[in-house]
Amino acid sequence: MNQKVVVITGGSAGIGASLGEEVGRRGGQVVLAARRERELEAARARAGAQAVAVVADVTRREDSQKILDAALARFGRVDVWVNNAGRGISRPVSQLTDEDLDDMMLVNVKSALYGIQAVLPHFVERKSGHIINVSSMLGRVPFAPIRSAYSAAKHALNSLTANLRMELRAEFPGIHVSCVLPGVVATDFGKNALHGGPDSRTLPQAQPVEEVAAVIADLIETPRADVYTRPDARRIVAAYYAAEDLGELESRPPFAAPPRP
């Protein structure tokens, strides 16, 4: 990690807190940002003696600047910015309200845009840096209709990520832009979804959060464009988009539950 300064939003729990621990363990300098002060301080303590906590709400543009200012004041630079803050929803398309969709776009897309636009001038000035957007497999393949607006928001985040990468490639090849695509992760994500939902930690085959954190830490050490946290995920995505009839494919598991015996 070579003392890289890594900013992680959504750092008080789940993937963000675990990533802070992993980066600190590998020798990075960690800046964690989140709204919940008590939980954030606990995560900061686990991320190493030099870690910094910034109480901030990344759905407010000015708070992303606040996070950057705190990181620069403590370390003098930022090397990596991880847009990890996000929230799910438990509501199908037919029941979505304006407020539901606005919330999903604000928390999952605009918060990342605010972080990108806050740190990018710093990276451009240095001609180096790494922006990592934590998306979801649901941003590639819409497995769960109940997560409809979350899936749509993550599709949008994926597109912004790719377009930013292409925008910067020619003039700023030293600035990396990456997208991370986990599946179900054993965190309280589902429990905290808008309108409630099952605790992700109780779902079958939920990936340990430490595994996801390790994948992102590896990405920091060796930048790539897209990274899936499960080895079979790329094959699943390729098969979905290669299907001649998506409707027929979506009528079968894992999209539809198998018939009862």
Residue 135 CA to residue 108 CA, distance in Å, equals 8
How many other C-beta atoms lie within 10 A of the C-beta of residue 235?
11
Q: How far apart are CA 208 and CA 99, in angstroms?
A: 32
Residue 125 CB: number of other CB atoms within 10 A? 9
| Residue 4: count of CB within 10 angstroms of its CB | 19
- Residue 34, SS3 per DSSP: strand
Active-site position among 114, 150, 240, 241 = 150
CA angle 71–77–82, rounded 5-degree value: 65
CA separation for the pair 21, 28 (Å, rounded): 10
Written as one string, the DSSP assignment of 188-218 is STTTTSBT----GGGSTTPBPHHHHHHHHHH
In the residue annotation, 150 being an active-site residue is answered as: yes
DSSP tag of 207: B
Give catalytic residues, as residue numbers: 150
